[in-house]
Structure 1
Amino acid sequence: MAERHQQLPPYLPASQLQRDQESAMMIRDLRRKNNIRIASYILTFLVLVVAIILIIVFVILPITTPKFRVHSMTFDTLEVGTTSNASFNMRFDVQFRIKNKNFGKFEYDYSSVDYYYRGTRLTSVFIARGDVRARSTEKIDVSFVNMDSSTLGTAANSSLSTDIGNGILPLTALSKLDGEVEVMNIKKHKSPVMNCTMEVVISTKSLQNLNCL
């Protein structure tokens, strides 16, 4: 009966085994480092996404009402009567400003600014349709605005005599702009309201104490 010889696996020297073990450890270490690197990239990406979302939600998307104000007035003519025959007539240039702090433009329709003396409307200034770019201020200059006291009633005329004697004419400018702010294709109706009080100094033909709410 023929003898069967069992083939034994070849014997590996200790140095070869050590090298194989070191190679396996290096591979595992590289894989671990790669996994850590990938995880850090994913975490960084998620943090950036969350930060962008927070900026959009809390900074960009909140839409505020633009500000509509009288910025300045200069007088071409200013004539007043005596305290016994109180009256005034003036012509002035005015600059209005619309300040839009939103991250989208503000479009507004036609409007007007009404000027009052102690509750009586004296004149209106026309405001054309327009728009204000994002994060900017629009200047609206209007020249040669005429205003006089011919429409004042008895009570206002009584106050006018005192105001002329004091050298001060108190005025109020009121207006409202109807428009829309558009941010990231989201439109929201906004209506800035102007309520500005001021004093005209008769002697210097200048404006003082201009305050807008």
Structure 2
Amino acid sequence: MEDKEEEHQPSHPLACSKLIEDKEDEHQSSQPLACRKLMEDKEEEHQPSHPLACTSCHARLEEEIASSEKQTKLKNRLKYYLFIVALTALETGIILLFALTVLKFKTPNFRVRAVAVQTLRVGNTSNPYFSIAFKAEFNVKNRNFGHFSYHNTTVYFYYEDVRVGRAFIHKSRVDARSTRKFYISVKLTSSYVSRSSILFLQDLNAGVLPISMQSKLRGRVTVLKLLKNDRATNLNCNMDVVVKKRQLRNLKCK
């Protein structure tokens, strides 16, 4: 038995110890070196491989940022200038529109709009004459942006250039962009018409008497209580008196 145990023991104990130590050293030394190698490789991967190239990238990026900022400032400046130009054009347009509309003085209109016969008397050929009483509607239309104050005036009625009547108009005022209506009673008579006039006899026989109206209305247009302009408007109307029907027709104003 002793002989067998001796057979299992190593014949060279020193050599075996040396061998075991060498294997342990191989296991201890090989693993740390591999780990350190792997860590060094990873650190090298994280570190920039081309430091000069990275510096150039940063410089280019800074240039692009600066260029973008300049373009943004330029666009904002252009927008500001365009806004100033548009605002100036708008103000100029408003001023022109104001000058061409509000500050432009226009002559008011003075017209006869309607006539209603109240009484009508006409003589015959042996005793020619006429006497007509009617009520007329007058209109004064103010087209200005300021009020129109007109003075006293008189409307004259004519038959064949002979004055046969008149109507007195009192001074008044018409507001801006409005029309003033008023009614006046008028009486026409043939007292100053020659009874021997051939035209007069012919018109009486035909039953139609042509009457004309003329007047001149003077006044002043005031805008914004500062700007004033004197204006005068003329009245020039014609109408026919139908004797048999006792009415007026063909009223026209120029």
TM-score by length of structure 2 reads: 0.71
Is 1:208–2:218 an aligned residue pair? no
Find the aligned partners of 1:109 and 1:201 in 2 and give their Cα distance: 33
Q: Is the 8 A contact 1:83 1:162 kept in 2?
A: no
Distance 2:180 2:214 in 1: 18
**Partner-residue secondary structure (3-state), 2:167:** strand
Match of 1:171 among 190, 202, 211: 211
Number of corresponding residues: 201
| Cα 1:83/1:155, change in 2 over 3 Å | closer
Higher helix proportion (structure 1 or 2): 2
- 1:122 maps to 164
Q: Which runs of 5+ in 1 are unaligned?
A: 1-10
Partner of 1:102: 144
Q: CA deviation at 1:56?
A: 3.2
Q: CA RMSD in A?
A: 2.2
Would you say the 8 A contact 2:158–2:212 is kept in 1?
yes
Alignment of 1:50-199 (within 5 A): 50-142=92-184, 144-154=185-195, 156=197, 158-184=198-224, 185-199=226-240
Q: How much does 1:31 deviate? A: 0.9
List per-residue Cα deviations over 1:4-27 (Å, max 9, x = no partner).
xxxxxxx98455444433432232
Between Structure 1 and Structure 2, the one with more strand by share is 1
Counterpart of 1:6 in structure 2 is: none
Q: 1:167 to 1:22 in 2, by over 3 A?
A: same
SS of the residue corresponding to residue 70 of structure 2 reads helix
CA distance in structure 1 between the partners assigned to 2:78 and 2:196 by the alignment = 83
Per-residue CA shift, 1:98-155, capped at 9, x if unaligned? 122222221101112111222222222121111222233221222x422222333345
SS at match of 1:178: strand
Q: Structure 2: 5+ residue runs without aligned partners? A: 1-51
Sequence identity percentage? 33
TM-score, with structure 1 as normaliser:
0.83
Cα shift at 1:192: 0.8
Larger Rg over CA atoms: 2
Deviations 1:49-88 (A, max 9, x none): 2212322343433323222111110111212111221111
Moved more, 115-124 or 19-28: 19-28
Q: CA deviation at 1:170?
A: 0.8
Q: Which has the higher contact order (CA 8 A, sep 6+)?
A: 1
